[in-house]
Structure 1
Amino acid sequence: MQTETYIPRRLDDQWKIGFWDVDVAAPILFCFFVGYMSGSKLSFAVCMGIGIFLSRWLSRIKADKHPAFAMHWIYWCLPPNPLTTMQGTPPSHLRRMVG
């Protein structure tokens, strides 16, 4: 009685918007919104250019790193506030490793 056991490998994939990860698509979407709200075509084009530049920069940074690299970077580099603090982890200013 030999049956093949299927082990799924994609349970913890990053969220996607189309073909892009959420953290790569977020700068484009945010800049699209800001450019749309500005009301002029020139500022819309400038905002979209900035958004495309930021998303390409972010995708190059995370190219050979952990899939959640952007969240880890945000946690360690941004100041703690209610939006960036996590409940189950120590504050980011405690850098001493125990163990």
Structure 2
Amino acid sequence: MLTDTYIPRRLDDQWKIGLWDIDVAAPVLFMLFVGYLASSLWGFCAAVAIGIYFARKMARTKADKHPAYALHWLYWHLPTNPVSSMRATPPSHIRRMVG
């Protein structure tokens, strides 16, 4: 009983790619792929620049918000489908709830 118990504080951290959260790194990775498909140096550079722009915009948007802000935004703004629908929460088109 005299030993200290370690209590983990970081169980629910978001996934990371290097130092970046997955939702900030995703636009850059997607645009790297699109730039590769362009098969030209200018197309690749333009796609990477666009990806970096959107990643910075995403990082600034979610700076003082909940860590899962991107997932919440996607839930409320994208249409539901059988893959992304949840049983415990109401559909996203129902904006008012009583109770």
Correspondence for 1:63: 63
Correspondence for 1:75: 75
Amino acid in the other structure paired with 2:41:
K
Amino acid in the other structure paired with 1:98:
V
Structure 1 residues 14-93: aligned runs within 5 Å: 14-93=14-93
Correspondence for 1:12: 12
Aligned length in residues: 99
TM-score by length of 1: 0.91
What is the root-mean-square deviation of aligned Cα atoms in Å? Answer: 1.4
Amino acid in the other structure paired with 1:38:
A
Q: Distance in 2 between matches of 1:39 and 1:2?
A: 64
Is contact 1:74–1:84 with CA below 8 Å preserved after alignment?
no
State, as a whole percentage, how many aligned pairs show the same letter: 64
Q: Distance in 1 between matches of 2:24 and 2:36?
A: 20
TM-score by length of 2: 0.91
Q: Which runs of 5+ in 2 are unaligned?
A: none
**Deviation of the 1:39 alpha carbon:** 0.4
**CA displacement 1:12-67 (0-9 Å, x = unmatched):** 00000111110000000000000001100001011000000000000000001000
